[in-house]
Structure 1
């Protein structure tokens, strides 16, 4: 990948998301989930009927101060995306929460996830005025190592909080990126 190949774009309002982008988001989410990715649907396989309403909720909630969508494309193909949200309640308005970080499985290992996370950090700090970011990650799939390489710190765990199957309980790992 060269810097010229990757296009990072953010969306801050529902009308900015075209039908083509919406469909690409749905397809990516199905692909990521069905390959075992921990991106919001715990029980694969899923199909477009399940992913589309979830994408629509994210797109419908986009607003400059409270919810942004960040996408990564290469030559017009969506290769990854994420959503960052903040609550405007005074006590917690200084931090945001990262949701649904995903890159297409066939495109992993090329730096797209790192590029998304780097751009997110700038947007959260410089445009949204956030001081820290939080996320919850599924244990047992190496996510804490990925985020750790990017400066995130594990701040806690909920042991066996996620039950993926009768004998497959996973920790939910709570992570923090601060300062931005």
Structure 2
């Protein structure tokens, strides 16, 4: 941000060689710059999208969220915005609009009478996935299950280590066997 007021530029020419006046203006300029920075910070904290961590903490208190400093600033910002949304019936169309408005690259597919929603997200940002899960948990009705698939891609070179796990169900039955001799 450009300096609004430069005191030395406002000083009359006949003070340019006076040491005391130059020293006073340097001290006052420092104080004026600090005051200007405080005003700019306060102005930015008036809006959720431009607030810093202290401003988001105030917004979280205003909307009734527990402040969690372990989350990054963007996640805290989206949590505040999601809490501030007007109460509106949650439909799939509204949910799609909301995802587009929050700039989350996700595709929703509803599986008819099974009460299930498949969500395909395309990102490599783990915080965006967490924000999407929080949003879906808060907005979707309790009888509607969702499955989230992250199909993000990354271009990196190097070794690729993968793993797979499986749950094996073992069933035992009581069988008796007779052997013919």
TM-score (ref. length: structure 2) = 0.29
Give the greater-gyration-radius structure (CA): 2
Structure with a larger share of its residues in strand: 1
TM-score by length of 1: 0.29
Larger RCO (CA under 8 A, 6+ residues apart) = 1
